[in-house]
Amino acid sequence: MLHYKDIKNKDNNLDLAVKNLLNMKDPHIFFSAQAVQKENLHHRMTNVFYGVLTYTPKACECCGVINEGNTLIKHSLKPSDIQLLPYQEVPSILRLFKQRFYCKACHHTFSAKTYYIAKDCYISQALKFAIAVDLKKKISMKDIALRYLVSVKTVERVLDTFYKGPQFRPNDLPKHLLIDEFKGTKDCEGAMCFIFSDAQTGKIIDILEDRRNFK
């Protein structure tokens, strides 16, 4: 297992390559020359990607004070393992060292955030989307869990998150929508899937297997 001192220096070439591989666009995450490792985790050989998440926050997440001067200081880095989509049936994780910040005004600490992982979650958004797409097919939850190397309970939680919300009618849609497309799995109808969500709450409304409309 590598430590922060081993990965604190960014390697521009490998950083770009790993981000392309993981379909990651967050500029606050970077990778070093030692970013990709093979490790034995839970008695299985696993692809481990070591990354660092750091930036300068505009304000304190706890009290809201504006970061002026040295109001917010970089406190420490806390590693966390984020499960990724498996590659060739080999488990893959992102061991992300998240920057923690200390606020001199309220004396609280908070961690850096990224769109790539939901708050207090240890599964990447890409993995959740892949599970959600498969849940729309005639595949059992057990088979989906085996495919993505997760538990059946995890598949059930994804189902609750994505599909058990209210059914939206055109008049019920939020005032502002966020729309995006992402690369789907090989068994999807199209190469790119389509997702849209509420811009104010961030709640996902629906995911379509194909971004194209044939009607």
Q: For tokens 């109808």, what's the residue?
A: 189
CA angle 192, 29, 176 (to 5 degrees): 50
Tell me, what's the pLDDT at 35?
A: 94
**Residue 106 vs residue 181, higher pLDDT:** 106
Q: What is the pTM of this model?
A: 0.72
Nearest in space to 84 (alpha carbons), one of 46, 112, 52: 46
What's the whole-number mean pLDDT along residues 112-141?
92
- Measure the CA–CA gap between 142 and 155, rounded to whole angstroms: 8
Query: Between 19 and 186, where is the model more confident?
Result: 19
What are the C-alpha distances in Å from 34 to residues 2, 10, 51?
8, 10, 9
User: Is pLDDT at 165 greater than 60 in this prediction?
Assistant: no
Amino acid 1: pLDDT: 86
pLDDT tops 70 at residue 17: yes
Count Cβ atoms below 10 Å from residue 126 Cβ, excluding itself.
17
Average pLDDT value for the chain = 88
Contact 178, 201 (CB under 8 A): no
The CA distance from 20 to 36, in Å, is 14
- 50 φ, ψ (degrees, to nearest 5): -95, 120
What is the structure's pLDDT at 215? 52
Containing 159, the helix (H) or strand (E) segment is: helix 152-163
Quickly tell me which residue has 């061991």 as its tokens: 95
> 212 with 53: CB under 8 angstroms?
no
